Amino acid sequence: MDIIFFKIAIILTFVLFFLPKQFQYYWGLFLHISIISISSIWAVQSLFSDVQSLSFPFILFFGEPLHIEIDKLSAFFLLVINFTVLTGALYAKGYLIPYFNKKNKIELALHYFSFLWLHISMLLVVMFRDALAFLIIWELMSISSFLLVIFESEKKETIKIGIKYLVQMHIGAVFIMIAFILAFVRSGGEFSFDGLAVYFESHNPFLLFLIFFIGFGIKAGFIPLHSWLPHAHPAAPSHVSGVMSGVMIKMGIYGILRVLTYIHHDLFDIGLFILIISLISGVLGVSLAIVQHDVKKLLAYHSIENIGIIGIGIGLGVIGVAKNIPVLAVLGFAGGILHVLNHSLFKSLLFYTAGSVYRQTHTRNIEQLGGLIKKMPKTALFFLLGALAISGLPPFNGFISEFFIYAGMFKSLHSAGLYTDIILLFSFSGLVLIGGLAIFCFTKVFSIIFLGTPRSNKVAQATEVEPGMIFPNFLIGFMIILIGFAPMLLVKPLASIVSIFTIDTTPIQQIIPTLNGISISSGIFIVLIGIVWILRAWQQKKQIIKQGNTWGCGYTGANPALHQYTATSYADNFGQLSSHLVNIKKEYKEFKENEVFPKEKSFETHSSDIFEDYLILTPANHFYSRLKKMGVLQTGKIQHYLLYSLLFLIVIYLLTILNWI
Amino acid sequence: MLFIYTITSIVISLSILFAKKNTLTKVLSVVFIIAQISLSFIAFLRIGEVDSLYFKFDALGILLGFVLSILSVATFYHSTLYLKRHEFSRRQEAIYYSSLVMLIASMMNAYFAENVALLWVCIEATTLFITILIFHERTKEALEATWKYLFISSVGVAIAFIGILFLSMAANSTGITNLSYENLLSVANQMNTNWLKVAFILILAGYSVKLSLFPLYAAAIDAKTIAPSPINALMSTALVNVAFVAIFRTFIIISQTSTMAWAQNILIITGVVSIFIATIQLTRIQRLKRMYAFSSMKHVGVIAIGLAVGGLGYYAAILHLIFHSFVKASIYYQVGAIRQFFKTGWIKDTGNYFKLNPVGGLALILCEISVLSIPPSGLFVSEFLTFKAIIMSGHLYIAIFLFLLLTVIIYVFSKNTYHLLFAEAPVDIDYDKIKTVPYESASQFILLFLVIYLGISPPQFFTDLIYAATAILN
Amino acid sequence: MISFLCILITALFFAGIISKVKAKIGARKMPSILQPLYDVIRLFKKGAIYSPTISIIFKMAPPIYFASIILASFFIPLFDEKGVLSFDGDFVFFAYLLALGKFMMIIAAMDTGSGFEGMGANREALYSMLVEPAFFIIMGSLALFTNNTSFQELYYNLHLGTDLSLIIGIASIYILVYIAMVENSRMPVDDPKTHLELTMVHEVMILDNSGFDLALMNIAAWLKFAIYGTLISNFMIQSFWPLYFKIIAFLIIQASFASLVGLLESFRARNKMDKNPQWIIMLSSIAVIIFLTTLIITNKIILN
Amino acid sequence: MTYLLIILYAITLVYFALSERVKKFIWILSIQGAILFGVVLFSLNKIELFDFLFILLETILVKSIVIPWFLNKVRKHNNLKREHEPYVPVFFSLIMVVLILLISFVLSNYLNNSQMRAQYFTVAIASVLFGIYFIITHKNIFSHVVGYLIIENGIFLLTLAVGSVNPLMVNLAVLLDVFMGVLVLGIFINHIGDTFSSVKSEHLSKLKDN
């Protein structure tokens, strides 16, 4: 029954193009909410019932009815998608106000339309099993997100980035397609995900999984497949980047998980592969994030890092299954999957707040910001919340998922074999390192944007955004804190999801007391803070509170902004450590000896992504220029045109004579 | 039936040629369109019957006939727009319409022609009329384009004629004098394979000029750069289909013999080479229409490969042919609207089309997505099936090579299309001269949604027709 | 509960002992052992000065930092007395809690908008980030050794019987000492007694704190020392000893730890700033050796 | 008798390769027309009279009189004297002609069959190939037309070689002839001559990718 409404909602999206500007947003929101409510009902039904999966026919597809199937995994992703898209849609209203007059009716309609279709296609991606339908909807997702990315089409750069994005997405889709076809040809199962099972039973899964991994990994942004991500996220409007980084890249994770559900042997090397790639992505992602000056680019690199964390969880889970260590399997998968949810929460929160900053100051370069907490207190606090959460600090949700993974690793250390132990050693040291670097990065970005004194006059006219743009942050913040304080709520659903990958899910019951311990400790923590704060207030009430300038070594001449720390200088000592990874280029002139009255000097640093440079750009450009050199056939001379045919005939003649064809 | 149709169309075209009033021209065109559509319906109802001696209503013909009818409606509409935008003398307009009618009529004949020689004659006729239409704008460039096209296609047709000679020779050796496909098919396996090989290769090479397939693709590309956009729309769709019919029918004959494998290899070679050449040329194109011309070349290459690998490929090839017709036609209609904003066809002189003409821009985006065979376009489905067939037939490396090329094509297309859509507009647009209305783009939306619909859930009769067309092959 | 009290008590005298030892070695007149305590009490009586550039963050930070340290000390067991709070993997929580405190400290320092404090803050951030792995690897090896994941259980089941396991104990103590030094930004990494802001790490961060906030900071610093001291002492105290003996041992160990810090501070010179990172990473590599040793003990690597 | 004609035809091809003057092209074309007339006269007398006469007339009128005359008119109109330096030197073209004749011999052996008359076939193929070669090696579109007409004659000969049993083919070949002769020559050469004031194909290569 409700499927009818779902279909109707999908059809009604086309109405957008005929509506006048001012109604379009509300129409879009209405459709979003109706789709969300319908699909969430399905998800909840599937997730909290003990049936394996819901399944009902959706449309006629090549004569046969195309079923949509919602098992636990799909249900989980449905909920994540819906929540993030809801907040995104709410946030969009405020964010798009400045564009309302710049853009004409059709452009706006196209934007809302694409946003709706991004939502719909993501939902269907996790619900389709038929391979062809999956590919189609997968590409639809790429197209709609592409149209969203190029929203600010006035900028030449945006279009360039959009095209880069489109091409890379297409390459990913091609890999997935090849994988499906190969599985189909080699095994002759049905042409769908379920058909993969037939292949994997009889063949060594690694090769096919590798192809799938590349295909989905491009979407997910694993290093070195990530090079679209740091460009597309900054280019897109913030509600879009929030949704893209929050959930769209998770579709890659979904794909990988979905494929994993059909593999039941030779899992170890697959797990190891995922783990290694994920560790690299995590560490390099965050290292590259530290040296960025563009806040949204920085956040984009953090998405890569978090994808890495998710991957670590999944990889460990797979290894656990392979080595038959239930605790590692269960907690690994649980941690990874939970981190999908968590990352979608705090990453979208960070993007929304960063977007608000951008809307008020018209710059994404953090070197020009500073002291915004006085202008935009609410935004600042929500950004801080997001920063704490993404750094995996208690008592917020990021900590919980990382804790799952840690717990899995430490609990299984003793029972695991030698090689697994060494793998675990690297994993948890890597995870710790990632956490530390994340803290380093977010202390930097938060304090440079919001604290200290303004670094340019862009900050001066900034004001707090309207409540409409704050409200979604409240929703997300609530979720973040809820998960942080009451993680045990998630145990049951997580267990049911994990049961898809590993049969024995008892270990997750062991962790419940631990989670209770965490919540209690968090509670105590808050209480302690409260007590100390009250004491402090009580003490200061009796004392005189004076104001005095910041201590500047006694030098009080110039304004503090001058000798204030910048993002570059903050990142510098890390940059020195990892200069080869992030290759920072500095541009400046030395002072000469004879320079008595030095002229104005400037100092610039640029960092570039070595993977993008050497793995993607250089070969691509080389290939393209080669092709271009070859394109001289269209000379415009009749003689040449005829010559081709003559040569063709002669060549064929010879080949035939020589029996080569 | 076709005899009557042909006579009517000749009469109509002549009377348009000498008509004094525009209204009469309009009325006559409407009459012709009605005749056209009714013919395709009659053909559908009388499927499989032989008609006026040399013709036969077979599935492929019917499908392409329907495509042509749909396109001819749109083409007439856009021709009126095109002629409105430029000031031409009444005489020129009359010539335009009458030769358009004759072009459509001769193509329709070609679809149903059941005799090798007759088909050849029809194709020769299309050359004549399309030449007149290409020359319509009477500029230096038009003259050049026309000359090249005429000359090359005459040579091509001549080569094809030699091929037909060999075919007839092969037939004669089995005692057949009437060159109807029926007969040829019946004696196919007795024919001398060497003769068949030569015949096939020559027919392929000859008709490739119409199919805009390697080797004789080049002249058509230059012609499409100049021809009026509605004519482009027919030239790179219906005319391609004509040549496809010719080659397909020959291929069917071959398929009954031991030469099959050889012919398939030839087709694969031509297909891959065509796609490769299209790609390398696309990296250099600077005019909008050339880009689309080369993209047709790429699509025809895919079709050829689909035909070559067989199995699922046959179905995919015909599906691809039909979808490509709709998509490419709608693109050229849109190009007609674009041309009035920008003085020249050079991409660098265009820009910001999406702001200048939002609805058209939307249509163009949809066109671009569809022609790049990205979902939801039906072309994705057909291309996907083709690749499936390629890989199933064991040519994985060809598939990968093609994927590489297609990626490049996507890059080039996006680069140029989005330059046209979003780059800052050239200064010299005189807005008062532009008469564009949103519902001009309606035809494109209809065609493209038709492609999407047929791609996602094709109706029964449609698939049945395609299967019927390819039935003899497997 | 006992453990918490012990930590609290020892913490009060820690700074005193350190400075006493240093003064002794420096042949200076030694202040009372309670001198730091007096300072703090005086601070509690004082008002505060705030820069106009600062925001709520600066005021929030010290309480949160203090609370995080207190809570951290709740997890620390003392021999078989478990801590106030204890659950599986609580050392992860412990570590991240300290990190949270540090996070707040750093952004508070940045909040003042002073170049020096920024410098200190970012050094602090880098060093504490680099030192984290060492701690986790040690805990990992203990978990591998004892098949437990909470402080309490770890120490309870830690029987350093064989000579190999003794190596583990010693090495762990060595590393924990240095981790404590880094965490409190003491000698080889940072010289608290320096007078040049450019070379400070921790001291410069709290330049603008005054009154109550500063007091909290100082107490937190002592607590941190005491916590690590407790962790160290747990390696030495054997569970079969009688309780009074344990407590005495504990106090002795804490005192000796404090005096050890004093000794280090007076004899060792501060590292060059840009040498600090690799020095800290050295700790992690030693920790890895411990891990491997543990693998040998648990017969996962068979050496013969 | 027919052998003699065939050999004569082959020799005309050699002359084409040899000559550089446009006037000479026209002459040779008309000679070819005459030869074809002879060939038809001697070989094609089995078919019924009407067709026979029609073809005879076509050859003698169209091939050897009308088209050459027309070409000549065009030549005067654009006062063409000599083919400006062709792409390849003459003696190379001569070698090519010989090669082409050899190839066509090989081909006719490869495809030998009782149905066809090998001697016609060889020369016909040679003529077609040479026509294409001729077009490729000349810059002047006037010469392109000549080359095309050579192909035409070759095809006509080919029809005689293979299609003797069904005159339909021959008639089609004739139709091709007339169509091309009238349309191409009649309309375009004049147009182009007027528009570009020369018939060098360099003027006709604006449409290209560069």
Which residues face A71 on adjacent strands? A53
pLDDT band at D36 (very low <50, low <70, confident <90, very high): confident
Q: Which chains touch C (3 or more CB pairs under 8 A)?
A: A
Q: Is the pLDDT higher at A32 or at B432? A: A32
Contact list in A for residue B467 (CB cut-off 8 A) is none
Closest Cβ–Cβ partner in D201, D204, D208 for A634: D208
Which residues does chain C have with pLDDT short of 70?
Answer: 160-161, 303-304
- How far apart are the C-alpha atoms of A645 and C114, rounded to whole Å? 77
Q: Chain B neighbours among A 612-631 (CB < 8 Å)?
A: 623-624, 627-628, 630-631
Residue B469 in this model has a pLDDT that exceeds 80: yes
Region of B52 (left: φ > 0; alpha: ψ -120 to 50; beta: rest) is left
Q: Is the pLDDT higher at A591 or at A76? A: A76
List, in order, residues 6 or more apart from A610 with CB less than 8 Å away: A581, A582, A583
Question: Is B271:B313 a contact under the CB 8 Å cutoff?
Answer: no
Structure letter (DSSP) for residue A357: H
Contact list in A for residue B265 (CB cut-off 8 A) is 661
Distance from CA of B46 to the nearest CA of A (A): 26
Contact list in B for residue A140 (CB cut-off 8 A) is 375-376
Mutate to test the interface with A, among D93, D96, D132 (most CBs of A within 10 A): D132
CA distance readout (Å), C238 to A99, C241, C257: 71, 6, 18
Closest Cβ–Cβ partner in D110, D137, D205 for A635: D205
- How far apart are the C-alpha atoms of B140 and B121, rounded to whole Å? 30
Rg of chain B's alpha carbons, rounded to an integer? 21
Cβ within 8 Å, pair D136-A643? yes
Contact list in B for residue A627 (CB cut-off 8 A) is 279-280, 283, 408
Question: Is A36:A82 a contact under the CB 8 Å cutoff?
Answer: yes
Residue C66 lies in a domain: yes
CA distance readout (Å), A280 to A25, A221, A316, D20: 41, 12, 15, 73
Residue A601 in this model has a pLDDT that exceeds 80: no
Question: Is B467:B390 a contact under the CB 8 Å cutoff?
Answer: no
Helices B218-226 and B288-309 pack at an angle, to 10 degrees, of 140
Mutate to test the interface with A, among B268, B413, B418 (most CBs of A within 10 A): B418
Task: Of A585, A497, A565, give the one whose Cα is nearest residue A260.
Answer: A497
Residue B415's pLDDT is 92
Cβ within 8 Å, pair A104-B457? no
- How far apart are the C-alpha atoms of D15 and D97, rounded to whole Å? 10
Residue D190's pLDDT is 67
- How far apart are the C-alpha atoms of A447 and A464, rounded to whole Å? 18
pLDDT band at A635 (very low <50, low <70, confident <90, very high): confident
List, in order, residues 6 or more apart from D141 with CB less than 8 Å away: A638, B147, B151, D189, D192, D199, D200, D201, D204
Range of the domain at C232: 2-297
- How far apart are the C-alpha atoms of A381 and C255, rounded to whole Å? 43
Question: Is B313:B390 a contact under the CB 8 Å cutoff?
Answer: yes
- How far apart are the C-alpha atoms of B332 and B339, rounded to whole Å? 10
Residue C61's pLDDT is 94
Cβ within 8 Å, pair A642-B281? no
Handedness of CA B98, B99, B101, B106 (dihedral sign): positive
Handedness of CA A557, A558, A561, A564 (dihedral sign): negative
Q: Name the residue of chain D whose CA is nearest to B121's CA.
A: D172
Question: What domain count does chain C have?
Answer: 1
Q: How far is CA A220 from the centre of its chain?
A: 7
* Average model confidence (pLDDT) across chain B: 90
**pLDDT tens digit sequence for A609-625:** 888 888 888 999 999 99
pLDDT band at A51 (very low <50, low <70, confident <90, very high): confident
Report cis status (omega within 30 of 0) of the bond before A395. Answer: yes
Handedness of CA B120, B121, B126, B132 (dihedral sign): positive
Cβ within 8 Å, pair B284-A631? yes
Q: Which chains touch A (3 or more CB pairs under 8 A)?
A: B, C, D
Contact list in A for residue B391 (CB cut-off 8 A) is 178, 181-182, 185
**pLDDT tens digit sequence for D184-209:** 666 666 677 677 666 666 677 777 77
Residue B250's pLDDT is 93
Residue A484 in this model has a pLDDT that exceeds 90: yes
Q: Chain A interface residues facing chain D, Cβ-Cβ under 8 Å? A: 631, 634-640, 642-643, 645-646, 657
Quote the percentage of chain B above a pLDDT of 90. Answer: 60
Distance from CA of A304 to the nearest CA of B (A): 25
Question: Is A322:A271 a contact under the CB 8 Å cutoff?
Answer: yes
Q: Are strands A545-547 and C48-50 parallel, antiparallel or unpaired?
A: parallel
Residue D106's pLDDT is 83
Q: Which chains touch B (3 or more CB pairs under 8 A)?
A: A, D
Domain definitions of chain B by residue range = 259-474
Task: Among A45-59, A330-344, B173-187, name the most confident range.
Answer: A330-344
- How far apart are the C-alpha atoms of B166 and B198, rounded to whole Å? 7
Of A558-572, B334-348, B430-444, the one with minimum mean pLDDT is A558-572
**pLDDT tens digit sequence for D92-149:** 888 888 888 888 888 888 777 666 777 788 888 899 999 999 988 888 878 888 888 8
For the stretch D87-98, what's the b/e string if a residue is b when 16 or more beta carbons lie within 10 angstroms of its beta carbon?
Answer: eeeeeebeebbe
Residue D85's pLDDT is 64
Contact list in A for residue B399 (CB cut-off 8 A) is 178
Domain definitions of chain A by residue range = 268-538, 632-661
Residue A1 in this model has a pLDDT that exceeds 70: no
Cβ pairs B/D, distance under 8 A? 106
CB atoms within 10 A of CB B261: 10
Residue D58's pLDDT is 79
Closest Cβ–Cβ partner in C89, C147, C197 for A403: C89
- How far apart are the C-alpha atoms of A186 and B394, rounded to whole Å? 11
**Touch B-A: 3+ C-beta pairs under 8 A:** yes
Question: Is the CB of residue D139 less than 8 Å away from at least one CB of chain A?
Answer: yes
- Please provide the DSSP assignment of A282-320 as one string: HHHHHHHHHT--BHHHHHHHHHHHHHHHHHHHHHHHHHH
3-class DSSP state of B378: helix
Mean pLDDT (whole number) for A329-357: 95
3-class DSSP state of A551: coil
Mutate to test the interface with A, among C46, C56, C103 (most CBs of A within 10 A): C103
pLDDT band at B190 (very low <50, low <70, confident <90, very high): confident
Q: Name the residue of chain D whose CA is nearest to A649's CA.
A: D129
C42, burial (CB in 10 Å: exposed 0-12, middle 13-18, buried 19+): exposed
pLDDT band at D181 (very low <50, low <70, confident <90, very high): low
For the stretch D127-137, what's the b/e string if a residue is b when 16 or more beta carbons lie within 10 angstroms of its beta carbon?
Answer: bbbbbbbbbbb
Contact list in A for residue B263 (CB cut-off 8 A) is none
The residue behind tokens 């995922």 is: A274
pLDDT band at D167 (very low <50, low <70, confident <90, very high): low
Distance from CA of B198 to the nearest CA of D (A): 9
Task: Of C58, B456, B376, give the one whose Cα is nearest residue A65.
Answer: B456
Cβ within 8 Å, pair C67-A529? yes
Task: Of B2, B103, B107, B106, give the one whose Cα is nearest residue B49.
Answer: B2
Question: Is D67:D185 a contact under the CB 8 Å cutoff?
Answer: yes
A298, burial (CB in 10 Å: exposed 0-12, middle 13-18, buried 19+): buried
Task: Of B136, B113, B114, give the one whose Cα is nearest residue B125.
Answer: B113
Question: Is the CB of residue A510 less than 8 Å away from at least one CB of chain B?
Answer: no
Distance from CA of A245 to the nearest CA of D (A): 41
Residue A211's pLDDT is 95
Closest Cβ–Cβ partner in C53, C66, C96 for A453: C53
Residue D188's pLDDT is 65
List, in order, residues 6 or more apart from A110 with CB less than 8 Å away: A17, A147, B362, B365
pTM: 0.94
Task: Of A17, A4, A28, give the one whose Cα is nearest residue A92.
Answer: A28
Question: Is A420:A408 a contact under the CB 8 Å cutoff?
Answer: no
- How far apart are the C-alpha atoms of A435 and C132, rounded to whole Å? 9
- How far apart are the C-alpha atoms of C279 and C262, rounded to whole Å? 20
* Average model confidence (pLDDT) across chain A: 90
Rg of chain D's alpha carbons, rounded to an integer? 17
Give the length of chain C. 304
Question: Is B305:B386 a contact under the CB 8 Å cutoff?
Answer: yes
Question: Is the CB of residue D146 less than 8 Å away from at least one CB of chain A?
Answer: no
Residue C277 lies in a domain: yes
Handedness of CA B367, B371, B375, B380 (dihedral sign): positive
Q: According to the 3-state scheme, what is the secondary structure of chain C? A: CHHHHHHHHHHHHHHHHHHHHHHHHCCCCCCCCCHHHHHHHHHHHCCEEECCCCCHHHHHHHHHHHHHHHHHHHCCCECCECCCCCCCCHHHHHHHHHHHHHHHHHHHHHHCCCHHHHHHHHHHHHHHHHHHHHHHHHHHHHHHHHCCCCHHHHHHCCCCCCHHHHHHHHHHHHHHHHHHHHHCCCCCCCCCCCCCHHHCCHHHHCCCCCHHHHHHHHHHHHHHHHHHHHHHHHHHCCCCCCHHHHHHHHHHHHHHHHHHHHHHHHHCCCCCHHHHHHHHHHHHHHHHHHHHHHHHHCCCCCCC
Cβ within 8 Å, pair C99-A435? yes
Cβ within 8 Å, pair B369-A143? yes
